[in-house]
Structure 1
Amino acid sequence: MGTTENTEEMYKLFNKAAKVYDQSGVEFFRPIGRRLVEFSGISAGASVLDVGSGRGAVLFPAAEAVGAGGEVVGIDISEEMVKYAQADAANLGLRHVGVQVMNGQRPEFAAGRFDAVVGSCSLFIWVKSADDVRPYLELLRAGGRFATAAPSFFSTAHGKWALFPEAVNELLMPYMLLSLKQSGAYDSQFANAGANWLITAESIEKTLADAGFVDIEVVEEELPVVVTSGEQWVEFTYTTGMRGMWERIEESERRELIAEVSRRLDTLRDENGVISVPVPIVYIRANAPKS
């Protein structure tokens, strides 16, 4: 479970990023959210909890999947994220969608409240062991579905991280590791890759089985992140949790780093002037026991 300090770090970061979060024009969170809803098998009429709902990448596809006869509840630690998601739900006329401020590490709902508990690019921030996922099992009805997605950590044992393009990985990783140390290990899974439950499909399966889940499935799929310039890729990262890394770098050094990252990525343009960065995403689903 995340510490008070790490929770405060997440709160500040995502409140600050909320206005631009997932709004850069670069498709990332929304296709992951749509795929997670599909992968989770959420059905019409279901009651769904979206943990760390952000600007609604899972919330709105889930609302479509359950239909007006179902229910989707989104929770997020950031008041700003919740504000924007609530406004979007209202504008879309989705009366079966509710969003509220709540710490996703400790959801305050009755046991057996939901048919499905999902979380895209959120749970990996704080989950480190079976103890951290067991609260989601408790929220599920018998036979209910748990599903989550995260940038793949399968390569972290080799000093790489899925969100960094190969061309800039060695350039950015020292800054990411320093940011983790300064922040009290926000996203600490990378800081201690060997102990990361997401490091292999087998460790994922063991963690969820130890928490009491059954019928566990793990799939890694590539998502192409498409930009027209290295500068646009950097701008995109500012609309994600990577913003925390950039903001810890002294201004003049940051300008030089951004220029070099942009230059390296610009060399990857294809004949159409497009840069396509493949980002591996891990999709995980499991069930609560039926009895």
Structure 2
Amino acid sequence: MGGRHGGPIDFGRPVVGTVENTEEMYNLFNKTAKAYDQSGVEFFRPIGRRLVEFSGISAGDSVLDIGAGRGAALFPAAAAVGESGEVVGVDISEEMVKYTRRDAEELGLKQVGLRVMNGQRPEFEAGRFDAVIGSCSLFIWVKGADDVRPYLELLRAGGRFATAAPSFFSTAHGKWALFPDAVNELLMPYMLQSLKQSGAYDSQFANAGANWLVTAESIEQTLAEAGFTDIEVIEEELPVVVESGEQWVEFAYTTGMRGMWERIEENERREVIAEVCRRLDALRDENGVIPVPVPIVYMRASAPEVG
């Protein structure tokens, strides 16, 4: 681990296939790791910064970052805890860990440690951390209270849990806010097809009413059932901009959406990409850029105090 326990290290590939969808995520994010969050589109990093701010992490804390990716929340958390604290980032992808470890070493962040680990069931002792966070990661596999409870167990009494996700509130109306409005009806069928083919993620889109992220109230209920207290949920619009439709497609390829693109037959995929670019390029504003704002949901809660 990092900080009080040494520099960034890797503990080897996790056992895959023992938890639903692990192998799919492992392969997908290994493929995207090098380009992940490197497209020039400011998306994951501002979410990570806001999540750390929202979580209330402070100097000296011990923090676990689930699904650390390329460090969008990991590095802001490291700044928040300072040299007297520690941040342990885990990710299922060996490649993500490789690149993020390199970046941490280049930044001289001795308080940062990295492990290759299945974030669905983190292998740490109970009460190990002051805070557990996950930026645009946990929503992929969490379906209900049972999937959140492992993070509660890792927290000390009064410790903080916080996570962020692209808002699913609009799925109740047949949309997912991660897609720009102009291309939502074009891309949603492909996303649904990909979900059904891969089994990688639950289809929150197809059954929005059963999705724990569909309303603030359902999020609060899920976290309360898991045993958390002092729950707060907010939705904020992230002002994402791209220079062209092509840049948005390139950005999408560097995220978990890559799985959707790769399941579209090649000739059809070229046609879909051309249409996405045409629709988005038509939205260029007076400044020459294309606004594609994305609502993000942030949620935080606390582990109960003792007594």
- Shorter-chain TM-score range: over 0.9
**How far apart, in 1, do the equivalents of 2:104 and 2:26 lie?**
22
Aligned length: 290
Q: Which residue of 1 aligns with 2:85?
A: 70
Q: Which residue of 2 aligns with 1:59?
A: 74
Aligned CA distance change for structure 1 residues 228 and 218 (closer, same or farther; 3 Å): same
Is 1:248 aligned to residue 263 of structure 2?
yes
Between 77-86 and 184-193, the greater mean CA deviation after superposition:
184-193
**How far apart, in 1, do the equivalents of 2:184 and 2:199 lie?**
22
Q: What amino acid is the match of 1:140?
A: L
**How far apart, in 2, do the equivalents of 1:185 and 1:48 lie?**
28
Shift of 1:187: 4.9
**How far apart, in 2, do the equivalents of 1:209 and 1:201 lie?**
12
**How far apart, in 1, do the equivalents of 2:50 and 2:285 lie?**
27
Q: What amino acid is the match of 1:270?
A: D
Q: Which residue of 2 aligns with 1:202?
A: 217
Residues 1-291 of structure 1: pairs in structure 2 closer than 5 A = 4-291=19-306
- Contact 1:266-1:275 at 8 Å conserved across structures: yes
**How far apart, in 2, do the equivalents of 1:245 and 1:183 lie?**
9
Q: What amino acid is the match of 1:77?
A: I
Q: Name stretches of at least 5 consecutive residues in structure 2 with no aligned partner.
A: 1-16
**How far apart, in 1, do the equivalents of 2:203 and 2:29 lie?**
17
- Contact 1:124-1:187 at 8 Å conserved across structures: no
TM-score by length of 2: 0.93
Residue 222 of structure 1 aligns to a residue in which SS?
strand
- Contact 1:10-1:186 at 8 Å conserved across structures: no
Shift of 1:224: 1.3
- Contact 1:9-1:186 at 8 Å conserved across structures: no
- Contact 2:238-2:294 at 8 Å conserved across structures: yes
Between 189-198 and 208-217, the greater mean CA deviation after superposition:
189-198
RMSD, aligned α-carbons: 1.0
- Contact 2:36-2:70 at 8 Å conserved across structures: yes
Q: Name stretches of at least 5 consecutive residues in structure 1 with no aligned partner.
A: none
TM-score by length of 1: 0.98
Shift of 1:284: 0.2
Shift of 1:192: 2.4
1:11-39, CA deviations, whole angstroms, 9 ceiling, x for partnerless residues? 00000000000000000000000000000
Shift of 1:271: 1.1
**How far apart, in 2, do the equivalents of 1:249 and 1:114 lie?**
42
- Contact 2:24-2:200 at 8 Å conserved across structures: no
**How far apart, in 1, do the equivalents of 2:204 and 2:65 lie?**
22
**How far apart, in 2, do the equivalents of 1:5 and 1:30 lie?**
28
Q: What amino acid is the match of 2:168?
A: F
Residue 128 of structure 1 aligns to a residue in which SS?
coil
Shift of 1:188: 2.9
Q: What amino acid is the match of 2:74?
A: L
| Aligned structure 1 segments of 4 or more residues deviating by more than 6 angstroms | none
- Contact 1:180-1:191 at 8 Å conserved across structures: no
Residue 118 of structure 2 aligns to a residue in which SS?
coil
**How far apart, in 2, do the equivalents of 1:124 and 1:3 lie?**
19
